[in-house]
Amino acid sequence: MSMINTSDILETIGMITSENLDVRTVTMGISLLDCADPDPKKACEKIYNKITEKAARLVPVVEKISTDYGIPIINKRISVTPIAMLLASAPTADPVEYAKALDRAAKAVGVNFIGGFGALVHKGFSAGDERLIASIPQALAETDIVCSSVNIGSTKTGINMDAVKLMGGVVRKAAEITADNQCMGAAKLVVFCNAPEDNPFMAGAFHGVGEPDCVVHVGVSGPGAVRAALAKLPKDAPLDEVAELVKRTAFKITRMGQLVGNLAAKELGVPFGIVDLSLAPTPAVGDSVANILEEMGLESCGCCGTTAALALLNDAVKKGGVMASNHVGGLSGAFIPVSEDDGMIKAARCGSLCLEKLEAMTAVCSVGIDMVVLPGDTPAEVISALIADEAAIGMVNTKTTAVRVIPAIGRKAGEELDFGGLLGYAPIMPISTYSPSVFINRGGRIPAPLQALKN
């Protein structure tokens, strides 16, 4: 048939229909640097106007591409300049008002989420940063689709432990004041080390200061397609063949993302930023990163061998994806969010996956301790210390790490939280109850690590 092989056609259709292959998100990055104003009312008006103008056509254009081309595109999102930068020039402003302006604008254009209610404080706080951080719990409780992220460390600067100390309390409070809504506030908040400035995925998306005024990024998905490809390999196929097959599949998935990105950028008249070639799972059966690891030959995700299998997967996804796109960025790798991944949920429930193993896994994949539900009585210092541990892994390994944990206020180990939709559901995972409080309360900075003499 013409230039296209029938088996290629059937493979693609099968990937889309039975293996959950989709473009997870088209995210428009919008700079709000020109919206700063000493008068908070004016600033919020400018924010609303700029977002609704730039993103006016985002949703219809992306939906039309999906219909015309027959490619499922799940989310339309917006990322903006970290709002703390706008607060710097408005010392009397209430940051929550800015969050509400973001929420209104995002709803007006019909996107699923808007990210960027955040601050970059990896070396210290500038004007506006501490006010924004303190307002995060309230802002997330009083808005619906605003996401927040704070970058507290980097390989070049070390870790801002004053910010780490603050963020433990912020995560806990975000959960406390949304306790009647599955502690949802904390599910919309990420604490980063080495945060990428062009990440299209939530909750961590924000529009970095080095980005153009407006840009379109694409995040692909496709763990189901990778797992299905691996299922066809014989169980005694060597791991080189496993890696090769993952690469081939990642290439195809990424090409679909690149196509959508090019089309969207052209139609919207803005530059195409990057393809984030992450394997992003969903709670749907089969659309799971954990299942890929199990397909490689692990009885249950979290058993010994999981870190090695994940390292292979993450690297092969990058190698396959890089050639498929002219600009790769964002997080790009395998995501391991517990509540958003059917296989991870099962592994956490049966006890094969524990928090300590997840932490080890984050050293070799693209994010961190993500969508993990903690016991409701977990103290702020313990959350801060978990953030510090993750940040240290990211800092030393020159990679992004993040923490998005949800203390299940009023609940204990054995119970579950259900966030609904793509955020999924998860059992509470036990965490060490020994206190790191003296360490956390020291504050200060952990110095940047050596980049040589690495062992």
Long-range CB contacts for residues 270-273, cutoff 8 Å, separation at least 24: 270/28, 270/54, 270/212, 270/214, 270/215, 270/216, 271/212, 271/214, 271/215, 271/216, 272/215, 272/216, 272/327, 273/29, 273/198, 273/211, 273/212, 273/215, 273/216, 273/217, 273/327, 273/329
Beta bridge partners of 406: 373
Task: Please identify, using beta-carbon distances, which residue of 7 and 455 lies nearer to another protein.
Answer: 7
Tell me the C-alpha to C-alpha distance, in Å, between residue 117 and each of 101, 211, 388: 11, 17, 21
The interface with another protein within residues 370-399 (CB under 8 A) comprises: none
The least CB distance from residue 223 to another protein, in Å, is 17
Size of the site for another protein (CB under 8 A): 25
Per-residue mark of binding to another protein, 169-188 (x: CB under 8 A): --------------------
How many other CB atoms are there within 10 angstroms of residue 92's CB atom? 8
Per rule CB under 8 A, is residue 1 in the interface with another protein?
A: yes
Per rule CB under 8 A, is residue 255 in the interface with another protein?
A: yes
Per rule CB under 8 A, is residue 326 in the interface with another protein?
A: no
Task: Please identify, using beta-carbon distances, which residue of 147 and 245 lies nearer to another protein.
Answer: 245
Task: Please identify, using beta-carbon distances, which residue of 195 and 246 lies nearer to another protein.
Answer: 246
User: On the CB side of 311, how many CA atoms lie within 13 Å of its CA?
Assistant: 9
Task: Please identify, using beta-carbon distances, which residue of 188 and 252 lies nearer to another protein.
Answer: 252
Cα–Cα dist 185/237, whole Å: 45
Stretch that binds another protein, among 68-76, 127-135, 335-343, 358-366 (CB under 8 A): 68-76
Query: Between β-strands 214-220 and 272-276, what pairing exists: parallel, antiparallel or unpaired?
Result: parallel
Task: Please identify, using beta-carbon distances, which residue of 9 and 239 lies nearer to another protein.
Answer: 9
Handedness of CA 435, 124, 392, 145 (dihedral sign): positive
Cα–Cα dist 78/58, whole Å: 9
The interface with another protein within residues 36-65 (CB under 8 A) comprises: 64
Per rule CB under 8 A, is residue 451 in the interface with another protein?
A: no
Per-residue mark of binding to another protein, 71-110 (x: CB under 8 A): x---------------------------------------
Per rule CB under 8 A, is residue 252 in the interface with another protein?
A: yes
The interface with another protein within residues 258-287 (CB under 8 A) comprises: 258-259
Interacting residues with another protein (CB under 8 A): 1-6, 8-13, 16-17, 64, 67-71, 252, 255-256, 258-259
